[in-house]
Structure formats: C-alpha cells, structure tokens
Structure 1
Amino acid sequence: MSVYESVANLVAEYALAYDERDWDALIECFTPDASLTLRVAGGDRVGPFRGHAEIMRLMRGSAAAQDDRRRHVCTNLMVSPTGSGMAAARSYLTLLSVRDRRLTVLSTGTYTDEVALTEGTWRLRTRHLELDLPADDRLPG
C-alpha cells in the first residue's frame, strides 16, 4: 500500500472510530507521544492534549456530552512525505449531526496532521483541528 493510501486509511479509521465510539481503535490511530490541538472559529488554541491518556479523556468526555449521532466526513486529503517514515497530511472535515430524524451540518474545518510510521503502521503524531464554526459547546469535532 502506498503512503497516500495508508494515510487515507488512517484518516478514515480515526473518523469511523470516533463516530462509532470504538475507543480501542481510536487510540491506535495515535502514537504514544501524540499531541492534539484545536481552534474553533478563530478563537484561542486549545491544547495540546499530550499522550494517549489526555487525548482519550478529551475524546470520551466530548462524546459523552453529545446527544446526537455524529458523522465526520473527511475529504480533499493531501499527503506529502517529509522524511523517512514521516509525512504531512491535510484534509477537510464536514461534521454532520443526526438528531430527531434531521440531518444538520454542524461545521466544516481542516485537519493538519504529522503522521509517523511506527511498528509498520502509520499513526498520528500531531493533529490540529481548525473548526470554521462552533459545532456546539462540546469539543472536539
């Protein structure tokens, strides 16, 4: 599998794992020393959340506060190898919500990632999310 295909699978795995609340699969998307930051609608940068424990505390807490069904749709993926076992990736996010039989676009945004090949698997080393609109008071997107 090419670097592009592997990173595309990683981006999709992250989105599916979060949406399905598959916490074991989600944490496998990150290197042990990973960091995650986010910014909503040009506001202050939040984070970094460092390492598996902090990232999972954020993800689980955010999911627990959501009373809708979320779908993270990632598109326009661009991947650039940056060195041996490293790559930069950028993609769009469209964040959808289903509640009371209604579909709503909550926000759009971008993911900017640094990915690393660790033990034969591509994983997120850094992830930054820029949301264009506040999806609501519960993070992340």
Structure 2
Amino acid sequence: MSVRESIADLVARYAWAYDTRNWGALVECFTPDASLSLRVAGGDLAGPFRGHAEILRLMRDSAAAQDDRRRHVCTNLVVDPSGSGTATARSYLTLISVRGVSLEVLATGTYTDEVVQAGGTWRLRARHIELDRPADGRRPR
C-alpha cells in the first residue's frame, strides 16, 4: 500500500471504530502519546486531550450522549509527507445522524492530522477537529 492509501485507511478505520463503538480499534488509531483537540464554529478550543485514556474517555462520553447512530464520512483527503515516516493529512468530515429511516447532516468540518509510522502501521500522533457548527445545531457560547 502507498503512504496515501495507508493514511486513507487510518482515517477510515478511525471513523468505523467510532461509529461502531469499537473502542479497542479506535485507540489503536493513536500513538500512546497522541493528542486530540476540537473547536466548534470558531469557539473555544477543547483540549488537547492527551494519551489513550483521555482520548478514549472523550469518545466514550460523546457516544454515550448520543441517541442516534452516527456516520462519519471522511472525504477530500490530502496527504503531505513531511519526512521519513511522518506526514500531515487533512480531510473533510460530514457527520450524518441516522434515526429510524431518517437521515440528517448534523455537522461538517475538517480533520488536520499529524501521522507517524510506528512498527509498519500509520497512527495519529495529533488530531485537530474543526467543526463548522455544533452537531446539535445550537450556536456555541
């Protein structure tokens, strides 16, 4: 697999893991010292959440607050290799809610990722999520 294909696979594995609540697979997407930050509609920065335990707690707490099924659709991936075994990746996020037979786009945004190759596998060392609006449709405070 090429570097781009491997990183595209990583981005997809993260989305699948979150959407299926496969927390073991989700944590495997990150290096042990990874960080994750989030900003909604230009509001305050949340995070960074550091390490597997903090990232996993954030993801589990977010999922527990949802009463629908989510589908994270990642597109327009751009990969910029920055050295031996490192790269920056950017992609768009479209977040879809599924309730019964109804579908709703909850939010759009971007992922900006710092990825590293560790033991032959690409992992997220840093992920920043920038949402264009809150997933619940409310304006940020």
Distance 2:108 2:88 in 1: 20
Q: Which moved more, 1:100-109 or 1:48-57?
A: 100-109
Residue 69 (structure 1) aligns with: 69
Q: TM-score, normalised by structure 2?
A: 0.95
Alignment length (residue pairs): 137
Residue 91 (structure 1) aligns with: 91
Residue 130 (structure 1) aligns with: 130
Percent identical pairs in the alignment equals: 76
Deviation of 1:97 (Å): 0.1
How far does the alpha carbon of each residue in 1:57-116 deviate from its partner, in whole angstroms, 9 at most, with x for none?
000010011000100000000001001110000000000001142100001000000000
* Pairing of 1:33-52 with structure 2 (within 5 A): 33-52=33-52
SS in 1 for 2:19: helix
RMSD over equivalenced CA pairs, Å: 0.9
Displaced runs of 4+ in structure 1, greater than 4 A?
none
SS in 2 for 1:26: helix
SS in 2 for 1:136: coil
Distance 2:101 2:61 in 1: 25
Deviation of 1:34 (Å): 0.2
Residue 59 (structure 1) aligns with: 59
Q: TM-score, normalised by structure 1?
A: 0.95
How far does the alpha carbon of each residue in 1:10-69 deviate from its partner, in whole angstroms, 9 at most, with x for none?
000000000000001000000000000000011011000000000000000100110001
Deviation of 1:136 (Å): 2.1
* Structure 2 counterpart of 1:46, one-letter code: A
